[in-house]
Chains A and B, each alone.
Chain A
Amino acid sequence: MMLFEYALSLSSAVLPQLQVQQVFHATGWLAVLTWLSVQFIRVYDKRWRWLIASLCWLLVLMLWQAPLSNLGLVFQTPSLLTLCLCVNAAWQDIKGRSHLLFYTAPTEQAHVWIWLLPAIAGWVLCLDTFGLMLWDIYSMGFEQPVVWLAWGVMGVWMACIYLFALAGWQMQAVNCWLVATALFVATHAPSGNVWDAWSDPGLWIWAHVKLIQFIWRQRTRINHS
């Protein structure tokens, strides 16, 4: 009962409590730094990559406050969706049969056009920041209709996945979005605005990297054929 009341108090104010902000700031950057490191660690068992990288960064961030403080100074806090995508990437690597050394489980690649969603959302929010949109998009992120709309879209998307047996990466994508939204409505992290929970400039930039990579590969294929 007390836990329920506490959870209710967390989600009743628009802004998350300072402690909640700090927890998500640390967790978000731990996830992002781990994910970044995993891309560069040359260990073939992916499970070990995640374990080594996350433990190293956990130790660094616990002993040394400067990295978190400076990342906050420049980049603020990663979005909850970024956090969920990092956790999902880790989970996909860990849950495979990676107990065999040098074995890497084949992972299903998401269709690259899924990255169009964060790229477009980022552009809309960026243009909105500079007053180039017709509506005040960012301020809508404090109001519930946007979250209700997303909730409906997620419901329809999930139903379609089950009814039409759509690809598994779609389930991963909608689950990440759903968990990010659930964390937001429960805690209002990281800022009280749902756009900050669903998107951040780092994710926006990464979405462009993925799209550019895809376009570049397509061009290379065409040139070689």
Chain B
Amino acid sequence: MHKSWLPASLMPLVWFVVWLVVAALLLVNAESTPVIGRPAKTAGAATPQPSPSGWVLEAQGLVPQPPLAPAAHASNLVALPTNPHFSLAVFWFAGSKEAKPDVRIAMSLWSRQQQAWTEPVWVVDRLSAGRSLGKGILHIGNPVAWLDQQQRLHVFVVGTGLGGWAASRVLHLRQPSADIKPAQAQFDVIGQLPLGWLWNLSHLVRHAPLPLADGGMVLPLHFELGKHYPVFAWFSPSGEFQGLRRLAHMRRMLQPAVIAVDANHWQAYMRSLSPHDKVSLIRSADAGAHWSEREALSLSNQDSAVAAVMLPGAGAVMARNPYERGRSLLVMHDSVDGLQWSAPQTLVDGLPQTEYSYPSLSWSDDRLWVSYTELRQGIAWQRWRAAPAAKAKP
């Protein structure tokens, strides 16, 4: 006779206890406050102030490129307001060519003392990230950085599986401490963001997160297998993933660049694949809980990245490649309400068939900073000062 380790009559009791344990754990971990719908961080201006009607270029140049890396793309700027030594960090991917196995993520810091970018350091490569994760990664790219409440840098990186960019997942890396060293970047792999059920395929990140009032943030992402739609992920002040909103009913929109007009009214501008060739716009009136598609802006766009950033007080700045010139012309606009945009101000005007693309914007030390891909060979930067309205007029 087969002997069981537990009398059969007790088995129902065991399963009943397991069932109760599940309920107990659910009760212990019950969320006290809703994750989605938390207000965005705003400058606190009671009344909107007019945005500057003119911008003065103060400085520009190229971020030093790592040795033996002839290709560079997809830079992302992040301000370091409390750091005494560095005011900005820029991340980008560099290597022999986009989507090659040797592509790595590079970082450089803007030194307050030397007023220059530090020599770039490698942050992560696909092999080390794959080892930490326990899952292979074919290529990496599109770094997006964020500074948490403990002043630790987080970097979100696209890592591809079999099938190139369409088979991408998003990796999350974080500094172990707030100490940022220009000569040595140390980032720990936290994990992959869970963004979809189907092998977590085809999710990418490109633009800067939207800071929340409680110190958390919302990371804009997108899905791009077959149809393209935006996705937003919520994070706690310490950078823990909290929840997701997938705007799967939307079509042909990717790489959302999100700004908060006020705490609850958010807008996201998107690279458009629509036939109308305009910058796509979606809006939320309840801090990201619900989104609706709005009429596209009058600004042209066709399959090139759009960047946007809120200015302190009020107003916003956007950078884009006008459709008429492909990616050889990069311009910026400013706006008070994020809907009506000023005439374009040229950031760079290149020869036909050249590429100045993938802009990133950041506000730091009372200046607007712009970085962008230059000819797919390097990362260029510019620093702009807002000119008061009266002085800006010719």
Residues of A within 8 A of B (CB): 8, 11-16, 18, 21-22, 25-26, 65, 68-70, 72-77, 95-97, 125-126, 128-133, 136, 138-139, 142-144, 147-148, 151, 154-155, 158, 162, 175, 178-179, 181-182, 185-186, 191-193, 195-196, 199-201
Contact = CB atoms under 8 A, between A and B. Distances in A.
Q: Which A-B residue pairs are the 8 nearest by beta carbons?
A: A72-B135, A131-B248, A73-B136, A191-B194, A125-B197, A185-B25, A69-B136, A139-B244
B243 interface: yes
B324 interface: no
A144 B30 contact: yes
B26 A147 contact: yes
Contact of B19 (A68, A75, A151): A151
Nearest to B202: A129
B136 A70 contact: yes
Interface stretch (B91-99, B225-233, B326-334): B225-233
B19 A201 contact: no
B130 A69 contact: yes
B22 A185 contact: yes
A76 B162 CA distance: 11
B178 interface: no
B132 interface: yes
Contacts of A186: 25
A21 B199 contact: no
Contacts, number: 154
6 contacts: A13-B240, A14-B240, A125-B198, A129-B201, A143-B243, A201-B198
B191 A18 contact: yes
Interface of B: 2, 4, 12, 15-16, 18-19, 21-23, 25-26, 28-31, 130-138, 161-162, 189-192, 194, 196-201, 223, 225-227, 229, 240-246, 248-251
A8 B243 CA distance: 19
A14 B161 CA distance: 24
B246 A76 contact: no
Contacts of A195: 197
Contacts of A65: 131
B21 A25 contact: no
Given A130-B227, A139-B244, A155 B196 contact: no
A74 B199 contact: yes
Given A125-B197, A186-B25, A195-B197, 10 more contacts: A15-B194, A72-B135, A96-B2, A131-B251, A136-B244, A142-B244, A143-B31, A144-B26, A182-B21, A200-B197
Contacts of A21: 133-134, 191
A180 to B, nearest CB: 10
A195 B244 CA distance: 14
B245 A73 contact: no
A11 B199 contact: no
Contacts of A14: 240-243
Nearest to A161: B12
A218 B162 CA distance: 38
B98 to A, nearest CB: 19
A110 B18 CA distance: 23
A175 B136 contact: no
A139 B245 contact: yes
Contacts of A97: 2
B22 A129 contact: no
A95 B2 contact: yes
